[in-house]
Amino acid sequence: MYNLHGKTALVTGAGGERGIGRAVATRLAREGADVIVSDLVANPYPDDSSEWKGLPSVVREIEEAGCNAEAILADVSKADQVENLVSRGIKRFGHIDILVNGAGSLPGKDRVLVVDMEEEAWDKEMNVNARGVFLMCRAAARHMIERGSGGKIINIASTSGKIGRKRFSAYCASKAAIIRFTQALAQELGPHGINVNSVSPTAVDTERVGFIAEAVSDGAILGKSWKNSEAHREFVQEKTEISPLGRVARGDDVAQTVAFLASPESDYLTAVDLVVAGGAEIF
């Protein structure tokens, strides 16, 4: 286990019940960190579970782990909302030591052929995934530099940032941008004792996959009912078969890697992109 006691983490995109953000936030809390959790809305998938309330549920889990938590809504593509998110987090806890950029654009009209894509769909994907990471990193880095105590920044990219995929052009471009941005930022922040790394997961069994399936199937599959569908069972089976480890990726798999990068155990790692793909994708 890692010792993150006395640290404060900020995790974006944390409202999904089966999402990477929730897994990361609760894992960092189990390591002792207080956590600021954020998402565009309190519950991004209200139809998925009657018990799950989104960010309030994550806050409850963090507090049950013995740590403090704060939920703050923010659109990471908007500079004023990002500044408000970071400043409110600092006001509550006094400092932010760890930033995990997990917010991502919900799949939809961007999952089409390039010749059929509207500019608005491209812009939305890039604004949330790439611009959002830039704005969050800028705000957190300014605070970390001013504080002078170093820090950890972890950006969630994707294996789709390493290889192009049909009908995923905007997503692939945005995730590739995150990986290269991470490398550049690491060079700039290293002298301040701030480590900047990225994590590139393969397809993880989250709510988002249902909406990807809905988009690429032109509505034949419904994202809202994905969890209990035959399409979901086929997805799990397919990913299980192609993984040498014999199972589909889960949010906890990514959270374990993030926890390592957030801990002192990774102090000499920066500008690194760690692939979490269970051997199914090798680069």
Angstrom distance (rounded) from CA 270 to CA 8: 20
What is the per-residue pLDDT across 63-108, written as a single tens digit (0 to 9) for each? 999 999 999 999 999 999 999 999 999 999 999 999 999 999 999 9
**For residue 203, what pLDDT is reported?**
95
Tokens of 197: 């790394």
Q: Is the pLDDT of residue 219 over 90?
A: no
3-state SS, residue 120:
helix
DSSP state for residue 50 in the 8-state scheme: S
Q: CA nearest 215: which of 144, 116, 143? A: 116
Domain edges within the chain: 8-204+249-276
Known catalytic residues?
Answer: 171, 175
Name the β-bridge partners of 11.
37, 100
Tokens of 235: 């997805």
3-state SS, residue 99:
strand
- What is the spatial order of strands in the sheet that 98-101 belongs to? 69-73, 34-39, 8-12, 98-101, 151-156, 194-201, 273-276
What is the per-residue pLDDT across 153-202, written as a single tens digit (0 to 9) for each? 999 999 999 999 999 999 999 999 999 999 999 999 999 999 999 999 99
**For residue 227, what pLDDT is reported?**
87
Helix (H) or strand (E) holding 16: none
In words, the CATH class of domain 8-204+249-276 is: alpha beta
Looking at the chain, the number of H-run helices and the number of E-run strands are 9, 7
What pTM did the predictor assign?
Answer: 0.97
What is the per-residue pLDDT across 100-155, written as a single tens digit (0 to 9) for each? 999 999 999 999 999 999 999 999 999 999 999 999 999 999 999 999 999 999 99
Which residues, 6 or more positions from 247, have their beta carbon under 8 angstroms from its beta carbon? 239, 240, 278
Q: For residues 15, 122, 255 and 186, what is the CA-based torsion angle, rounded to 10 degrees?
A: -130
